[in-house]
Structures are given as structure tokens and as C-alpha cells.
Structure 1
């Protein structure tokens, strides 16, 4: 197979399924051959990213992720996508391990703010403890000229409950809790826009999008960039 991309997924599996669903749904295709060529690596046993970031004595996700990148690189994909925000803590190490470009999920999400919400100034972030702690989004948001708004301890506890207790553990979305978190970020912390910086939150948005809050769904943005890049590569191959 030529002109395909590789998806390093399974972090978690339901979030990866959401990415694949949106990818196929949004691809402009009217027959089988117009869909995109890709390889999905659903590496569900990659150690928890947040656990390691908060405690380096825990098993490292970098080792299996590095193995996946090196193995897939031998197949010569056009690019990689990693539909897990927290895994981008290891982005530089992973990119240095291959000549194949890796789409940078947080960078692409922040770029989308100017397109979708040009007047936004205060950018809220909800994500795992690992992403909040390691500042994956802080640099990108501030580099783009925005003020980043982190959740309070109470909101962070609610967010982790939504991510781990509901989406990861039960494959359920507590819509009321999700909407409550967005309300707190927007109306209590005065965020103009809220970035969904965890793919389990993207699952929540997919299943409970019946709200009026302004959000940037990082996984949704990654889907659009994946399609754009794949179609560009296909066109170049035909030309």
C-alpha cells in the first residue's frame, strides 16, 4: 500500500474509535476507493501516560510508543497521527526517532482558535492531570498570544472523574457533568474558549454536543488535519 498514514492509537481505545469514526464520516467519499488509506495500531497496553508523568517510577509509555513509531516507519507512511493529547509529552523523542512527520495535536488545536474564535483572548483547558501538569498546551497557547486558564482543583477532580470513571471505565458519558465542567470554565473562570485537551473529552463532545459553550476539540481538529494532509498527498501522487 502506498500513500497511507499510520495512527498510533489505543490511548484509550474508545477515544481512538471516536477518531476513526469522525475520520471516515468526514472523508469526502462516494465509493470505497475514495476513502483514505491508513494503518491503525491500537496499542491498548501502553502504560498510562498521566501516571508516568506524575511519577517517573511508574512504567514508561515512551518505550512502547517508540517501538510503534520505529516499526511503522519501516513501512514508509506519509505521516503519523497520535490521537492522545497526553502522549504528546513525548513528542520530541518520538519525532527524533523517525524521518516521517508526526502531526502535533496541541499545535493544530491552538491554530484552530484563530480560525474559529478570532476574538478569543482567555483560553481555558480541561485535560488529564498529566497534561495539566506537564504544560503541553501552556507553551502553545501562550506562544500564540493568548492567556491560558487552568481549571481549579475542584474542576480538575470533576474532569478526571468524567475521563476515568465514565469514559475509560464504563464507556459512558455523563452529559450533565460534562456540561457542568464547561459552564464552570466559561462562567466561573471567564474562559472565552475551552480546549478539550483529552481524547476522552472528545468522546464526551461527540456524544453530548448539545450545548452552546465555545470549545476547541483537539481530536476533531486532528481529524480534519489528517484528512487534509492525506488528500494533499493523494493529489500529489496523481499529479
Structure 2
């Protein structure tokens, strides 16, 4: 009897477009010949998770951690073998999720850090394209600190433009105008000596395939790790 394939549980809705984009990445990474070749996912696409920005930037929002923990527990109950959170900012509350379940929880920041260190060891200056909350909490600085990498965020005016762009994508605006705006911000990071940029917002991942600069995408790295876990399970 074949061993049951692992099921990935997705804490989604942060935002919904980013969650769908992440699932599309999973689909594209599988060399499927039929439906049954694809990965089984259990998804809570919950746009009602309290705002991470209100909690971390405004300081007057509800703590999203308990809601995310509840989602994680439900996904585990529904059969998930391991969990992913396709939202960089939400990883500020990663421990709420990890400590609430008895199954592994992948960490998009750790995976991205390890990927960059392994595949781009020569890179010293890393540009981060992320929400203001990721900048404020210094999540990526803490990840890369042991590797002596210099983390570069856009200057304030460009960071505010980036936040506006993220909000546009949440509204469903994902066209050429938004892609051009992202390129302008990336070009700005290059002028600040960034050797490599990280798409560290899964909203930005929705439109990030077109710009012309060295980059890695945290959402893609997370998706690749999911595929690796499923393959490892099949081969054991």
C-alpha cells in the first residue's frame, strides 16, 4: 500500500491575491500529467485576519497572532501535514502559529535567507522590497546578521511609494502601471548599491516577474521548498 502523500496547509488571505499567486506557483512547479499529480492543499484563505499593519505600524490594531494560531489548529485538524504562511509580515507572529500545533511550520524568512546565502554567497548588499512593518521590525536584518550581509531598504519617499503599491495590489490593481512603479523602486535600490533584491512581500510577488534586476522571490522559494518536501516524502 502506498504511503499517503503529505498535505500542505496554507494560512492564507494575507492577502487573498497573494495566496492564489502562491498556489499557482505550486501548480507550475509540479510536472503534472494529470490532476492526481498535483499537491493536495488545505487552505484557509482568511482575509479577516486582523491587520498586521495596524498592529505593527499604527500600534492600535488587534494582535493577529491568536487568529493565526486558530487557523493553524483548524488546518492541522483538517489533515495538514505541515503549514506555510505566504506572507512575510505575518511572520512576526510565527511563534503563535508554531506553538499552537504539533506539525512543522515552514518559515519563509529562514528559507529565503538560507537560499540567498547558498546561491549568492558573494552578495554583500541586499535590497528588501517589503512592507513598512517588515522594515520596522527588522526581521530580515536579524536573519542575515550572522552572515554579515548589509540590508538596504528604499529611502522613505520610495518606501512610502512601495507601501502604496502594495495597497494597490490588494485592491486588484496588478497591471503595467504597477509593474513599472516596482521597477522604479528596484532601480532606486540599485543606486543604493544593492547587489540583489528580495521580493519580501507576497503581494509584490504577484507582479514581480517582469522587472529587470537580479532578484529572488520569497514566495517562490517557499513554494520550491513545499515541492521538495513532497518529493522527499515520495522518495523515502
- TM category (shorter chain) comes to over 0.9
Alignment partner, residue 133 of structure 1:
136
Is the 8 Å Cα contact of residues 86 and 198 (structure 1) preserved in structure 2?
Answer: yes
What residue number does 2:186 align with?
A: 182
Question: CA deviation digits over 1:24-79, x for unaligned, max 9?
Answer: 01112212221111111101111221111123431221121111011122234221
Residue 28 (structure 1) aligns with: 31
Corresponding position: 1:62 with 2:65? yes
TM superposition outliers: structure 1 runs of 4+ over 6 Å: none
Task: Look up the match of 2:120.
Answer: 117
1:73–1:100 Cα contact (<8 Å) kept: yes
Are the structure 2 counterparts of residues 94 and 111 from structure 1 closer, same or farther at C-alpha, using a change threshold of 3 Å?
Answer: same
Structure 2 CA distance, aligned partners of 1:10 and 1:221?
A: 19
Gaps of 5+ in 2: none
Correspondence list, 1:3-22, <5 A: 3-22=6-25
Query: For the residues of structure 2 that align with 1:94 and 1:141, how far apart are their CA atoms?
Result: 22
Give yes or no for contact 2:12–2:45 (8 Å, CA) kept in 1. yes
CA contact (8 A) 2:53 2:133 kept: yes
Shift of residue 2 of structure 1?
5.5
The Cα shift of 1:227 comes to: 0.8
Give distance in 2, aligned partners of 1:37 and 1:181. Answer: 36
| Distance of 1:82 and 1:6 partners within structure 2 | 9
- Which residue number corresponds to residue 73 of structure 1? 76
Aligned partner of residue 102 in structure 2, secondary structure? coil
Shift of 1:171: 3.0
Distance (Å, rounded) in 1 between the aligned partners of 2:29 and 2:75? 25
Q: Identify the range of structure 1 (4-13 vs 227-236) with the bigger mean alpha-carbon deviation.
A: 227-236
Q: C-alpha separation between the residues in 2 aligned to 1:95 and 1:112?
A: 22
- Contact kept, 8 Å, 2:152 with 2:194, in 1: the verdict is yes
- Which residue in 2 is equivalent to 1:172? 174
Q: Could you list the per-position Cα deviations for residues 158-216 of structure 1 after superposition, in whole angstroms to 9, with x for gaps in the alignment? A: 1011110x2112332411111000000012x111111111111111213xx2x330111
Shift of 1:21: 0.7
Offset, 1:219: 0.4
Partner of 2:219: 219
Judge which range, 33-42 or 168-177, deviates more: 168-177
RMSD: 1.6
Q: Which residue of 2 aligns with 1:160?
A: 163
Q: Which residue of 2 aligns with 1:97?
A: 100
Distance 2:113 2:216 in 1: 8
Residue 146 (str. 1) matches residue 149 (str. 2): yes
Shift of 1:17: 0.8
